[in-house]
Structure 1
Amino acid sequence: MSDKGLLIAALAQALPASQVRSDAESLQASSHDTWPLSTKLKRLGCHDYQADVVVEVADEQQIQRVLAIATATDTPVTPRALASSVTGQPLPTRGGIVLDLSKMTHGCEINFTNLTVEVSTGYNGGKLEDELHAQGWTLGHSPQSLYQSTVGGWLSTLATGQFSSYYGGIEDLITAYTVILATGEKIRLKASPRAAMGPDLRQLFIGAEGTLGIVTSVQLKIFPLPEARLYDTLELPDVEAGLSIMREQGMAGLRPFLLRLYDTAEARHAMQDPQQNKPVMFIGCQGVHAIAKAEMQTLLDIAAKHGATRKGPQAALAWMERRFDFSTVENLLATTGGFAETIEVAHTWDGIGKLYHALNQMLQPHAAEVLSHFSHVYTQGTSMYMILLGKEETDELAVERLRTIWRETMRVCLEHGAELSHHHGGGLVRSPYARVSLGSAHLLLRRVKAALDPNGILNPGKLGL
């Protein structure tokens, strides 16, 4: 029997045989995620990132058994759940085992006194939000992929949501979690509600993309649904005015839950009006009604100083209704030669404007439409999305175009000293740039990897590891 055959036999002996799959359909299905490049390669019948076996696990004990076999046979293990990643995190680069965590959905423990909920790693985010919402609560975490992603995936990719200006990113929303190391050891990381016993080790696995351990359950904060939500839409003289508004509201200590700035090209999509000829901003304030009202008025006063014109709440409310809709990109990718990409980066206030203009200038020849928006705001700077839509004659040419877009975008971002990812993580597409992006910090990552995963079996090929 081959080494592959021995591996599959050992796994089938350790777990129910129905949970161990090595048929072509299963292997090909797990060789793709929702990364646009991967979607185009799937259309071409290219399944470059195939495992030897897909193992579906149902509990922590089964994960420990799989890791024991993987360690004994020096077999790579790539964790995967709903594969909503758009950068290739769950794709195996060295074959081995794809560890399917999507059935890890048992358990949902809500503590209304401590304002937390604990769920298994494979729990669907949208399902959890709906369950909480029905009882008057919210996670506060609302990525566009809410109904296509899991809580374990949020942690592993350092995700953030559309209302991060109010609630923060996933790193602000996690109170505790459980992880299993490559050695099979089970670790619980927590702070209740804060702890000062050494470094905050909870941060260690957040954003590690499964390279340091397998997350099995997550405890998250929950929040009461807001008493009031107020909306408005602003039309702006230029992008710089919008960036100034964002910066000044941060200086003032405001916390609008909705703060999205669209350049003119994307404003046409956001307003659903092809005649829109100026940038726009969607704003929203929430909380106790008196506070939401006062915050909204303060935000409007800041905006007025920079030449903003109020357009009313309708466009912002319409966006709220369709904010999970990703069909423009999906439909274009489904056509022969069609390509689309969303690349999110981040920079400081003194760099983001220059980066915006440099990327737009560089990308214009590479796509029919180059769209930009700014949607996660901090006191020191903001994130920026670059959205590319276009069409080539063939899918093969679309693949090459996407590769060029990524290569050139990363080059420009590095030249400007920007962060290469704000919340989509590194995955396969950014891994070649990880060492340059992290600089000397990458040495620390490599040291941690060597200590926690000495055989290097967990999700190889990611984060420059």
Structure 2
Amino acid sequence: MADLAAALSELSEALGPDAVRTDGEALDRSSHDSWPLSAKLDRLGSHRHRADAVVGVADERGIRAVLSAAARHDVPVTVRALASSVTGQPLPVRGGIVLDLSALPDAYEVDAENLTVSVTAGHNGGALEDALNARGLTLGHSPQSLYRSSVGGWLATLATGQFSSYYGGIEDLVTGYTVTLATGETLRLKASPRAAMGPDLRQLFLGSEGTLGVITSVTLKVFPLPQTRLLQTYELPGVEEGVALLRAQAAAGLRPFLLRLYDPAEARHALQDDTLTAPVLFTGTQGPDAVARAEADVLDALVREHGGRALGPDGAEKWMARRFDFSSVENLLAQDGGYAETIEVAHTWRGVLPLYRALTADLAPLADEVLAHFSHVYTQGTSLYLILRGTAATDEEAVARLERIWETAMRTALAHGAELSHHHGGGLARSPYTRRSLGASHLLLRRLKHALDPNGVLNPGKLGL
């Protein structure tokens, strides 16, 4: 039986009374993240996902103390760092403790010879990227939330960045990390540069959303800043031709660092031109000058084969300058009745166009605008990113509309056999659909959970657990 009072008493003694907060302000603040539904509930003063206490820690010792006390007293623990999640990963659903990592020190060390950086998990990603840029290096990982998210959060949510076609997702960029288990034990998982001694155990915690352990420090690859970057904007005859082009360049083995195909609805926003009626493609190649130019020429020829025409670099350059700006969604959410949502899924080349047509049609009655783009491309398929914008009569109606949007999108994606998330993770938004999405493999996840967290105290209610 859970004994919250005993756990908090132990933690106050071990970490100091200021580390443990049970006041309403702290509990309310930790009951929301960057999920649009959560933002609307916050405006309404509705705190559906509220902990019983917030415990702040400043080092790994504090993390171990919280997890050990929680395990002894059967108290749920939900990890929170910078709370940039847009699907509800850091929101507690069974009360208990929110383990606040935001006070962990920002520390990093670059290994210039081995081209890695070791960093504390709570470190702001944008601050780290800026520090590396000053040394002529880059992480290669560039999510829209770069300046709002933590390094550990990238691993916990299996994140990817805007330049994934070149650098890959976080699973391709991490070489090792330290994780603390529910029991308080700490493990180091690594492969330098690759290892074949048994299964790659690093994969166990990537995307686990704090349900299996708490990531405390990370070692990532770094790369020299590219000598040359070349940008271009194209107009294409239709979405079908655009998707065919994405597939052709992937099959050809090209590696553009930027590759974003916008359907006509989003193209008008991407180029800030309401007269557009055709899809638009942003491309970018990089590397040694000769390589970047050669790849740009090959890509240009492919675009023309698919009926595209160059519009010049201006559109892509302007997007690069504002690519971290989330204000259009936030401003709409701040209005009475305003709502917006971002949902990303993924499918094979055979399945993605039927999925695109079905999702845009099924979601159209639920929003004033349904925008779509394809922005992470693989040999076998691509991601599909949807942005929905609308205005309801009240915030209460906006909440109901957002809930219907998620239900509709997940139902349609499941019907088409699509991946329910490409890079935002599951969180609360997708947890009800996890078992249907993973199918029989969810049994493996449940067995891992039981082995690593037998009392089920770590972030319950996520990933269908």
Normalised TM-score (structure 2): 0.99
Amino acid at match of 2:430: R
Give the 5 Å matches for 1:33-182: 33-182=33-182
Deviations 1:197-222, CA, capped at 9 Å, x for gaps: 00000111000000000000000000
| Offset, 1:105 | 2.7
The Cα offsets for residues 334-380 of structure 1, whole Å up to 9 and x where unpaired, read as 00000000000000000000000011111111110000000000000
Q: Give the match for residue 291 of structure 1.
A: 291
Q: CA deviation at 1:6?
A: 3.3
- 2:9 aligns with 9
Distance 2:330 2:378 in 1: 30
Q: CA deviation at 1:276?
A: 1.2
The answer for the alignment partner of 2:268 in structure 1 is 268
User: Counterpart of 1:426?
Assistant: 426
8 Å CA contact retained: 2:160, 2:423: yes
| TM-aligned CA deviation for residue 38 of structure 1 | 0.3
Distance in 2 separating the partners of 1:214 and 1:168: 23
Once the two structures are superposed, residues 45-83 of structure 1 have per-residue CA deviations (whole angstroms, 9 ceiling, x without a partner) of 000111111011111111111111101110000000000
CA distance in 2, matches of 1:330, 1:106: 27
CA contact (8 A) 1:373 1:385 kept: yes
Give the partner amino acid of 1:132. L
Q: How far, CA to CA, are the matches of 1:448 and 1:262 in structure 2?
A: 39
Task: Report what 2:229 is aligned to.
Answer: 229
1:451-462, aligned counterparts within 5 Å? 451-462=451-462
**Structure 1 contact 110–118 (Cα < 8 Å) conserved:** yes
Q: Which amino acid aligns with 1:217?
A: S
Post-superposition Cα deviations, 1:233-268, rounded to whole Å, max 9, x if no partner, equal 000100011101100000100000000000000000
1:247 aligns with 2:270: no
Deviation at 1:320, TM superposition (A): 0.2
Corresponding residue SS for 1:95 = coil
Match of 2:219 in 1: 219
Q: The residue matched to 2:312 in structure 1 has which SS?
A: coil
- Looking at structure 1, the residues matched to 6 and 188 of structure 2 have their Cα atoms a distance apart, in angstroms, of 33
Listed as ranges, the gaps of 5+ residues in structure 1 are none
CA contact (8 A) 2:430 2:463 kept: yes
Q: Secondary structure at the match of 2:372?
A: strand
Q: CA deviation at 1:443?
A: 0.3
Matches within 5 A, 1:183-198: 183-198=183-198
Structure 2 distance, partners of 1:214, 1:98, is: 12
Q: Equivalents in 2 of 1:194, 1:429: separation in Å?
A: 35
The letter for the 1-side match of 2:28 is Q
The equivalent residue for 2:355 is 355
CA–CA distance in 1 between the matches of 2:116 and 2:259?
A: 26
- Is it true that 1:364 corresponds to 2:335 in the alignment? no
| Residue identity matched to 2:87 | T
Q: Which ranges of structure 2 fall in alignment gaps of 5 or more residues? A: none
Q: Separation in 1 of the partners of 2:122 and 2:344?
A: 25
- CA drift of 1:4 comes to 4.0
What is the TM-score when the length of structure 1 is the normalising length? 0.99
CA distance in 1: counterparts of 2:440 and 2:212, whole angstroms: 19
Asked if residue 314 in structure 1 is aligned to residue 314 in structure 2, the reply is: yes
How far apart in 1 are the matches of 2:401 and 2:222? 42
Fraction of identical pairs, as percent: 66
Structure 1: how far apart are the matches of 2:10 and 2:24? 19
Cα deviation per residue 1:135-192 (whole Å; 9 max; x = unaligned)? Answer: 1000000000000000000000000000000000000000000000001111000011
Look up the equivalent residue of 1:47 and give its one-letter code: H
User: How many corresponding residue pairs?
Assistant: 464
Match of 1:408, as an amino acid? T
User: How far did residue 3 of structure 1 move?
Assistant: 4.6
Deviation at 1:106, TM superposition (A): 3.8
Which SS does the other structure have where 2:147 is aligned? helix
CA contact (8 A) 1:105 1:121 kept: no
8 Å contact from structure 1 (residues 105, 119) kept in 2: no
Structure 1 counterpart of 2:163, one-letter code: F
Q: Matched residues in 2 for 1:379 and 1:3: separation?
A: 51
Which 4+ runs in 1 deviate beyond 4 A?
none
Question: Which one-letter code corresponds to 2:366 in the other structure?
Answer: H
Contact kept, 8 Å, 1:40 with 1:399, in 2: the verdict is: yes
- Residue 229 of structure 1: how far off its partner (Å): 0.3
Equivalents in 2 of 1:142, 1:337: separation in Å?
Answer: 32
Which amino acid in the other structure matches residue 425 of structure 1?
G
2:4/2:75 contact within 8 Å kept = no
Residues of 1 paired with 2:285 and 2:234: CA distance?
Answer: 14
The one-letter amino acid paired with 2:376 is H
Q: Distance in 1 between matches of 2:423 and 2:221?
A: 19
* AA aligned opposite 1:43: R
8 Å contact 1:176–1:189 — kept in the other structure? Answer: yes
* Aligned residue identity for 2:236: L
Rounded to whole Å, the distance in 2 between the matches of 1:58 and 1:382 is 40
**CA deviation map 1:314-337 (0-9, x unaligned):** 000000000000011000000000
Partner of 1:205: 205
Is contact 2:3–2:75 with CA below 8 Å preserved after alignment? Answer: no
User: What residue number does 2:332 align with?
Assistant: 332
SS at match of 1:146: coil
Secondary structure of 1:376's counterpart equals coil
TM-superposed CA distance for 1:8, in Å, is 2.4
Q: Is the 8 A contact 1:154 1:170 kept in 2?
A: yes
Question: 1:410: how far off?
Answer: 0.4
Provide the C-alpha distance between the structure 2 equivalents of 1:79 and 1:59, rounded to a whole number of angstroms. Answer: 14
2 CA distance for matches of 1:449 and 1:333?
36
Distance, in Å, in 2 between the alignment partners of 1:350 and 1:5 is 55
What is the alpha-carbon distance in structure 2 between the residues aligned to residue 271 and residue 150 of structure 1?
A: 30
Q: Are the equivalent residues in 1 in contact too, given 2:6–2:73 (CA < 8 A)? A: no
2:392 aligned residue: 392
> Aligned-pair distance for 1:400?
0.3
Displacement, 1:7?
3.1
CA distance in 2: counterparts of 1:82 and 1:277, whole angstroms: 39
- Whole-angstrom CA distance in 1 between matches of 2:379 and 2:18: 51
State the distance in 2 between where 1:3 and 1:19 align.
19
- Please state how far the C-alpha of 1:96 moved relative to its aligned partner: 0.5
Identify the residue that residue 416 of structure 1 maps to in structure 2: 416
Whole-angstrom CA distance in 2 between matches of 1:4 and 1:161: 39
